[in-house]
Structure 1
Amino acid sequence: MSSDTAQAATPAEHDWTGPKPALATLVLLAAVSPLAINLFVPSMPSIARDLGAPYATIQLGLSLYLFMMAALQLVIGPLSDLFGRRPVIYAGLVLFLVGTAMCVIAQSAEMFLAGRIIQAASASGMVLSRAIVRDVYPREKAASAMGYMVMGMAVAPMLGPAIGGLIDQIAGWRMTFVALGLFGVAAIAAAIVTLPETNRFRGAPLRNQVESYRQLARLPLFWVYACASGFTTATFLGFLGGGPAVSNVYLGLTPFAYGLYFAFCAFGYSVGNFLTGRFSERRGLERMMVEGTVVTLAGPAITIAFFAAGVEHPLAFFLPVMLIGVGNGLTLPNVTAAAISLKPDAAGAASGLLGAIQMGVGACASIAAGIIAGEEGLPIPLCLFLSACALIAIILTLGAVRMANRP
């Protein structure tokens, strides 16, 4: 598609006249992948014992999943721009079910990790639910709609660890993956019934999809948005990587108790997305992004102050970190809407590249956080690392706002 055609197509983003997808369906599609991340985390010690593998090996089930999600998002976007949103979503969820079945029947760590890698195809639902919102809503309204969508989606990470720990305790870790499979089947069924095709630009030659990436790569503002999104996400996924060690080793909590306390952070994410849904159109994307990164920084900073003062109760760790969730909920929907709006005729490619950078930075942060927390699960070094990620996100966001406001 030529630049002239792209410019001509851009105003049409405000003229969507077809049936709008059900918000509940978009929530289900977007929730499969984060649920697959969070539901099994409390079961990692049980999986390691059952499969006779070191805990560090089973922990790769988290980091490999995140890295594969990042890589797949580079493919998911262009494919959806070429073939449409629906076929790519269905293909990804079918692969997710295959990977889930492999985890259920796994008798070795190798088969379990292979299943986790294949499960990452569920990223199609998360990536394309955002692109679908951008297909049918204009820029400011898209941020508001994403806020409400992600607020509902946040129920998955909010309840996932507690539910996963409870299922493990009652029926064993394999039933955790059975539950994941049933959730995936429900998402496919809802999409078949209520999800229309929303990509009006599909069918262009694949070279045009590659050209979309080239055009995005030539937009400095897109990269600043993407990196701001990545380091904001790094605070959340860094907590996910190092938090269980602090909870289990330093604070002596059970996996089920960790799941319950983790709900604070996920609840904060839901609150942040609710505030985005209410105020993005009124306050503007850029202001909400800056405020979100500042709130994100406040979480680990307060936790450091508590532990430095000798207050070592679990609430001193988990309650302030809830602000990481609030800040992520304020920042991510707005930065996503702003970044995709730079090239709305390639929303799938933009969403995919944005998600790849976001998850890639977050995956690195999860590994680094686990190393920094160490075998002793030290909270202050972990929170110093999370604070550094948040500070970088603030600097990048301020830079993005300055660039966006230039004539």
Structure 2
Amino acid sequence: MEEHQRRGSHPSLSSLITLITLIATSSPLASAAATLTDDSKCECYLTNGTQASFFTTHRFLDFRNLAKNAGVPPTIAKSDDSGSAPVTSEYFTSKEWTETFWVQSWNNSHMTREDATVLMVNSPNNVYIEANGDRNPSSQTWLTLRTQRLKDFQTAAEIESIGPGFQYLSVRMLARTVGSPGAITALFTYRGSDRLADVQESDLEVRTMDPHNTIQYTNQPSYTEEGEEIDRATKNVTLPNGHPDWTHWAVHRLDWTPKETVWYVDGIEIATISFQTPRDPSKVILNAWSDGGEWSGNMTVNEAAYLQIQWLEIVYNATDENPARKMKRDDDGAAAALSARSGNDEDEEGGCDVVCSIDETTDRGKPVMLWNNGGVRTMEVWLVSWIPSFMLLGMFVLSSGGLW
């Protein structure tokens, strides 16, 4: 009886959970975590995921509301004219675009890819803003990269970052691939070399000849000079049931960190490769192409395939000297962020007082402020913020005679 009365004097589990929830949602840190901000106020960005990392710079290119630039240009039928074509709209001369990317016009006539059977010409004419013709459109427009097989050549599309200044990044795009078999659409980091073994590259590739739920992820090179395949370098992944296939809109994400490359679809980790992870500053490239070879396939004449992108977002570092605090691993191998440096200690120069996120935002392209140290260490801010909450919880427990 005594034990029964003692237990009966305690709060119910539901009331305790309600109190804890109230404390968590009303704490200063909880409200700060929901604060939308802009890049001018962010000193670094913390990503989520299995290799959570700090990055110093954020870029967001939004192709969803560019109706004044929309228009599908007719395919140029002559290879010489295709390569020398101008850009398709004023958007590709805007500051937003030219500070990040430029449209390519090179061809493979001087390349030595042994199994290529078709002249491939990258054309600015194949990179354009297109009006959204979906039945239930989620945007006004999108960016299209087009590749099409013509009688005498394959016309293709490629955009490349202005410089090779990316050294570790997290890049995401809301995208899909549609069209005929015999093409590749891709998002990848790239650092070239005259020697195959020195190439550094992390790929996300869709082969339109493959099943619609299959995507190829690779840390290149995936083969040797002698033509032998390197199995550890690549993963041909079948997307889990319930995942949108590559013909449907999905957020495709590539995280390149010092330890490994991780790929996600709609926030779910799909593949991880730690073998020959790129080390040095690289470019970011997107393309849609075919050369008639074994890898891309040989597209039927007059058929076409398209990479369509609603938005593209990147957080990155320009060098390996990251001014934000490095990461540590806990006993379970999960990434845990150390507190950002306050920048006030004599032995810690630089640092990162204001930490933001592009993952927790409710408005794509606008970061969320996770914390602002203001010269105070994160742990100190955390303790100060939660002391009233702990006091409230303690008073509640004591008044009820303990937890058990």
TM-score (norm 2): 0.23
Which is helix-richer, 1 or 2? Answer: 1
More RCO (CA 8 Å, sep 6+): 1
Which is strand-richer, 1 or 2? Answer: 2
TM-score (norm 1): 0.23
